[in-house]
Amino acid sequence: MTGIDPKRTQIGTMDDIQFLANMAEIFGGVAVIFGITFGFFEFRRYKAGLQREAAAALARSFQTREFVAAIRVVLELPTPIDIDQYRKLPETNKDLIWFLFGSMESIGILVSRGDLSIELVDEFYSTPVDEGWRKLAPYVEDLRQELDSPQAWEWYQWLHERLSEYHEQIPRIPAHVRK
């Protein structure tokens, strides 16, 4: 046997084992990096899916006949009302106003917990939140004093304040005007 190195013909020399161990370590590191990167992108996709689900749930849960009627009653109030003006309203209108309060409280809590984005609320309900609060704030203040309860409809007020802050940073552009 001329020209053949007997050390190289043996399988499993220490050099070969070290080389294979190094390659396995490199491939393992690459696999970990790939796994982390893949997990990051999958998590972002998952979060985007949750956001879409939240938008759909928001639309479904609040697009009821009663909710639309409540928005209409409040938006059609001629001016902001106090407790005396509220008491003169028909009972059905009072019920609808309280229905709107309860709905806005729920939305406010969901936004404060981070379960719902202020952007979604802006897209779906900016007018009912802003105009509703503007017209009902004097009544709420009177009610809080009468009940000695500063917490009455606190999440609706909180939601209105957060939405106002959001609009200061990102002015509302109506959909029909956007390009």
Q: How many CB atoms lie within 10 A of CB 135?
A: 18
**Do 97 and 23 fall into the same domain?**
no
**Do 80 and 27 fall into the same domain?**
no
Asked if 122 and 172 touch (Cβ cutoff 8 Å), the reply is yes
Q: What integer pLDDT is reported at residue 8 of this predicted model?
A: 55
**Do 29 and 98 fall into the same domain?**
no
Asked if 94 and 77 touch (Cβ cutoff 8 Å), the reply is no
What's the pLDDT tens digit per position in 95-136? 999 999 999 999 999 899 988 889 989 988 999 999 999 999
What's the pLDDT tens digit per position in 35-89? 888 888 888 888 878 877 876 776 677 788 999 999 999 999 999 999 999 999 9
**Do 48 and 87 fall into the same domain?**
no
CA atoms within 13 A on the CB side of 102: 11
> Does any domain span residue 4?
no
> Does any domain span residue 79?
yes
pLDDT band at 155 (very low <50, low <70, confident <90, very high): very high
**Do 86 and 32 fall into the same domain?**
no
> Does any domain span residue 177?
yes
Q: What integer pLDDT is reported at residue 160 of this predicted model?
A: 98
The torsion defined by the Cα of 48, 50, 52 and 54, in degrees rounded to 10, comes to -140
> Does any domain span residue 48?
yes
pTM for this structure?
0.71
Q: What integer pLDDT is reported at residue 16 of this predicted model?
A: 78
**Do 25 and 102 fall into the same domain?**
no
**Do 27 and 112 fall into the same domain?**
no
The average pLDDT across 14-40 equals 84
Asked if 157 and 133 touch (Cβ cutoff 8 Å), the reply is yes
Q: Give the integer Cα–Cα distance in Å for 163 and 42.
A: 30
What's the pLDDT tens digit per position in 156-177? 999 999 999 999 999 988 889 9
> Does any domain span residue 58?
no
Q: What integer pLDDT is reported at residue 27 of this predicted model?
A: 86
> Does any domain span residue 162?
yes
**Do 67 and 22 fall into the same domain?**
no
Give the residue, 45 or 91, on which the prediction is more confident.
91
> Does any domain span residue 179?
yes
**Do 18 and 79 fall into the same domain?**
no
**Amino acid, res. 77:** L
Q: How many structural domains comprise the chain?
A: 2
**Do 45 and 72 fall into the same domain?**
no
Nearest to 86 by CA among 71, 100, 72, 97: 97
> Does any domain span residue 1?
no
**Amino acid, res. 144:** R
Give the residue, 23 or 14, on which the prediction is more confident.
23
**Do 43 and 110 fall into the same domain?**
no
Instruction: Give me the domain span that covers residue 131.
Output: 63-179
